[in-house]
């Protein structure tokens, strides 16, 4: 039987080498998890919460991004937080389909306790060791691109023409537009602002919508503009 890599077996009590399932009610706080052995990595994904439906009666899919991951749990930045105890399904580019329970929440994010077999945790641990080693090289490659990128903060606000404001999660952004996920799904052509960047909805995405700015933005100023209030 495979066991978790030594990097994870030797860490805190939550990394139990022979544990197959998390006991009912088991969980740690976000604060405690930040002190445990884990990998700080941003991986794009999507998730589905129970009882969140679109106008057609289908479960809504929201975009999200990991910030800290271990073979047992992960912190995820999200547009809609959900409640402690919610069971959800998710998909991440680097990890595939994952299921888990929300064990703690914070503004714009939650801690997800992963439901996995021992073999799945071992595979996850191997992947995390590989991703951690690859991380620095990936940062160098990403810094050369001048297309879409992930802003420093994933959270912003969508302001509609009537002045209503909704929190949103930024999937990615470029100098000409931004893709976001939010509890609202404005119709195509809706004028709005994401932070202080004014634009219109140009298409819907499986987990959100895309906005084209009315004018091209300066890349160096985008991070600050997305955090500001709408100019109207």
Q: What is the pLDDT of residues 150-175, one digit of tens each?
A: 888 999 999 999 999 999 999 999 99
- State the pLDDT confidence band at 4, using cuts at 50, 70 and 90: low
Q: Is the pLDDT of residue 2 over 90?
A: no
- Give the Cα separation of 20 and 201 in Å (integer): 45
Same domain, 87 and 183: no
| Position with higher pLDDT, 27 vs 28 | 28
Same domain, 81 and 10: yes
Task: Please state which of the ranges 95-99, 158-162, 186-190, 216-220 shows the lowest mean pLDDT.
Answer: 216-220
Residue 56: what pLDDT?
Answer: 87
Residue 89: what pLDDT?
Answer: 97
Query: What sign has the CA pseudo-torsion 23, 31, 42, 91?
Result: positive
Same domain, 181 and 95: no
Same domain, 46 and 101: yes
The reported pTM is 0.80
Q: Is the pLDDT of residue 136 over 80?
A: no
Domains of the chain: total: 2
- Give the Cα separation of 19 and 72 in Å (integer): 10
| Domain end call among 119, 144, 169 | 144
3-state secondary structure of 100: strand
* Domain annotation covers residue 150: no
Same domain, 71 and 17: yes
* Range 98-113 average pLDDT: 97
> What are the start-end ranges of the H helices in the chain?
6-9, 30-33, 118-144, 219-227
Same domain, 173 and 89: no
| Domain end call among 110, 144, 178 | 144
CA of residue 173 relative to chain centroid, distance:
15
Domain that includes residue 133, residue range = 6-144
């Amino acid at each position: 039987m495979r066991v978790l890599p030594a990097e994870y077996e030797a860490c805190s009590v939550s990394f139990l080498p022979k544990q197959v399932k998390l006991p009912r009610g088991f969980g740690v706080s976000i604060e405690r998890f930040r002190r445990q052995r884990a990998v700080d990595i941003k991986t794009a994904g999507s998730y589905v919460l129970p009882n969140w439906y679109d106008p057609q009666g289908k479960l809504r899919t929201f975009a999200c991004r990991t910030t800290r991951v271990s073979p047992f749990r992960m912190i995820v930045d999200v547009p809609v937080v959900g409640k402690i105890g919610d069971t959800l399904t998710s998909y991440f580019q680097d990890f595939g389909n994952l299921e888990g329970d929300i064990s703690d929440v914070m503004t714009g994010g939650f801690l997800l306790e992963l439901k996995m077999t021992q073999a799945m945790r071992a595979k996850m641990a191997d992947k995390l060791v590989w991703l951690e080693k690859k991380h620095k090289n990936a940062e160098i490659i990403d810094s050369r691109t001048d297309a879409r990128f992930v802003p420093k903060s994933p959270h912003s606000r969508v302001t509609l023409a009537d002045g209503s404001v909704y929190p949103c999660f930024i999937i990615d952004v470029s100098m000409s537009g931004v893709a976001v996920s939010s509890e609202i799904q404005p119709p195509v052509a809706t004028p709005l602002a994401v932070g202080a960047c004014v634009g219109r909805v140009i298409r819907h995405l499986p987990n959100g919508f895309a906005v084209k700015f009315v004018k091209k933005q300066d890349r160096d100023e985008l991070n600050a503009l997305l955090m500001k209030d709408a100019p109207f």
